[in-house]
Amino acid sequence: MRVLIDATTTQNEWRSNGIGFYTRNIVSNLVTQFSDTKFILLMYDNPSEIEGLLSSNLENLEVVRIGGFKKKNLFNPIWYLNQLLPGIDMLKTLKRVYKEGDLFFSPFFWGGIPSSIPFVVTIHDLAFPRFNIYSQISFLHNIARGVTYWIEMFKTLKAKAIITDAQFTIDEYLHYLPKYPREKMFPIYLGLDIELVEKDVNRLLPQDWREKGYIINLGGGYTKNKNTGGIIDAYAKYVEVCKGKNKVPPYLVIAGKNFQDRSIKDVRNLHRKINSLGIEGLVHFPGRYEDDDRYSLLKNSLLTINLSAYEGFGIALLEGMKAGAPTIASNASCYPEVVKDGAHVVDAGNIDSVVQAIEKIIEDRKYAESLSEKGKVIASSYSWEKAAEETYNVLSKSLNN
């Protein structure tokens, strides 16, 4: 079997988020675990998050370059439309290498799916249509981006198989496109690549964090579905509870590069909310962190919290569990499916229940330790080796059907 894979999401604007994370790990594990299969990666000329794999000289790996990556012009929504087939460069390349491949695998459908070759696609979630957040740059960008999204989404109806990160997303997909056969959809849980190695992360935390402690939200974002505003509201109410008990509240650490960029409207709104609630001195934004910072940031926290209203899998949540941090999770979307009993699940819309969960974990250390142990067991059951094996089985079956 010869599999063509679109690996451009290890290079473009998706490379540092969940999509790039998925492509990096699933491609690396497919190539290294299945040496009898030829993998042909379609990539830009630009640097990639899988440079180590590319330089390994594996006999079953070939890289085909499709030109340089064209960055967005934020003032030109037509850029999105020009990326419809991304495009055109990829399709030209596919025509050239078509005879070398039997099947096309797209880890992310929005990048452009060729209809001239049998293909399998991964759909991670349907958050964009659910929340109408194809682009948050402007109204026109959102329309243009939405057009490209649905052009590619309708192409998925021709897929030999569709892979999702959880059963939840299968149901979501069929809500929008009910004609696709359910029996051709396969939920494959992702793995975790967090290394359990301590690192000095003092530069990312408040100076007196050891005395006061901190609650952390890592891997979130400013989009509507991430519900970072809900975390801030619950934290502000918890601070009031602490003051009523004459206790010093721990910090709230919200990690991620975007939260320091006040040129983004939604980020500005979050900062305004913090100021209006009078907690500006207690909420800490460390900015961008490195992959190997994750373990120490999570492990040293009093608890980690994710109240996302919508996720396809929830990697950041499971990373907290694997690091041994007691975890609070929203009961929305796929979270209950993936965390099982390894996290304290709450109704994110009920601030009082969130505050009670924070109190329970911080004040009842026996409960916190029990939750931590359960979380580590659940999180350790997810592996990229297993995800790659199940993905390969889907690819193989799809080629023969």
**Domain check: are 234 and 346 in the same one?**
yes
Spatial CA neighbour of 360 closest among 241, 228, 216, 236: 241
Structural domain total, the chain: 2
**Domain check: are 262 and 295 in the same one?**
yes
Q: Is there a domain that residue 197 lies in?
A: no
Neighbouring residues of 210: CB distance < 8 A, sequence distance ≥ 6: none
Residue with tokens 């459908």: 109
What digits encode the pLDDT tens for the residues 363-388? 999 999 999 999 999 999 999 999 99
Neighbouring residues of 390: CB distance < 8 A, sequence distance ≥ 6: 186, 188
Q: Is there a domain that residue 196 lies in?
A: no
Range 343-350 average pLDDT: 96
**Domain check: are 231 and 154 in the same one?**
no
Band (pLDDT 50/70/90 cuts) for residue 136 is confident
Range of the domain at 241: 202-379
**Domain check: are 306 and 369 in the same one?**
yes
Q: Is the pLDDT of residue 192 over 80?
A: yes
**Domain check: are 6 and 112 in the same one?**
yes
Band (pLDDT 50/70/90 cuts) for residue 88 is low
Q: Is there a domain that residue 16 lies in?
A: yes
Range 173-192 average pLDDT: 97
- pTM more than 0.85: yes
Spatial CA neighbour of 272 closest among 282, 287, 262: 262
Q: Is the pLDDT of residue 44 over 90?
A: no
What digits encode the pLDDT tens for the residues 278-335? 999 999 999 889 889 999 999 999 999 999 988 889 888 999 999 999 999 999 999 9
Question: Residue 84's pLDDT is what?
Answer: 46
**Domain check: are 86 and 9 in the same one?**
yes
Question: Residue 77's pLDDT is what?
Answer: 47
Question: Residue 366's pLDDT is what?
Answer: 97
**Domain check: are 222 and 273 in the same one?**
yes
3-state DSSP: the chain helix, strand, coil percent, rounded to 5?
A: 50, 15, 40
How many other β-carbons are positioned within 10 Å of the β-carbon of residue 208? 9
Sign of the dihedral defined by the CA atoms of residues 368, 369, 370, 371, in that order: positive
Q: Is there a domain that residue 394 lies in?
A: yes
Q: Is the pLDDT of residue 125 over 90?
A: yes
What digits encode the pLDDT tens for the residues 58-73? 999 999 887 777 665 5
Any idea what the CATH number is for the domain that residue 28 is in?
3.40.50.2000
Range 226-239 average pLDDT: 95
Question: Residue 97's pLDDT is what?
Answer: 65
Q: Is there a domain that residue 329 lies in?
A: yes
> How, if at all, do strands 214-218 and 344-346 pair?
unpaired
**Domain check: are 267 and 177 in the same one?**
no
Q: What's 81's DSSP letter?
A: H
Q: Report the percent of the chain where pLDDT is more than 90.
A: 67
**Domain check: are 33 and 110 in the same one?**
yes
Band (pLDDT 50/70/90 cuts) for residue 79 is very low
State how far the Cα of 52 lies from the Cα of 58, in Å rounded to an integer. Answer: 11
Tokens of 94: 């596919």
**Domain check: are 98 and 139 in the same one?**
yes
**Domain check: are 239 and 349 in the same one?**
yes
Q: Is the pLDDT of residue 102 over 60?
A: yes
As a whole number, the mean pLDDT across the chain is 89
Beta bridge partners of 186: 163
Q: Is the pLDDT of residue 139 over 70?
A: yes
Q: Is the pLDDT of residue 263 over 80?
A: no
**Domain check: are 175 and 29 in the same one?**
yes
Spatial CA neighbour of 238 closest among 228, 248, 223, 226: 248
In 67-225 the beta strands, taken as DSSP E runs, fall at: 103-106, 119-123, 161-164, 185-187, 214-218
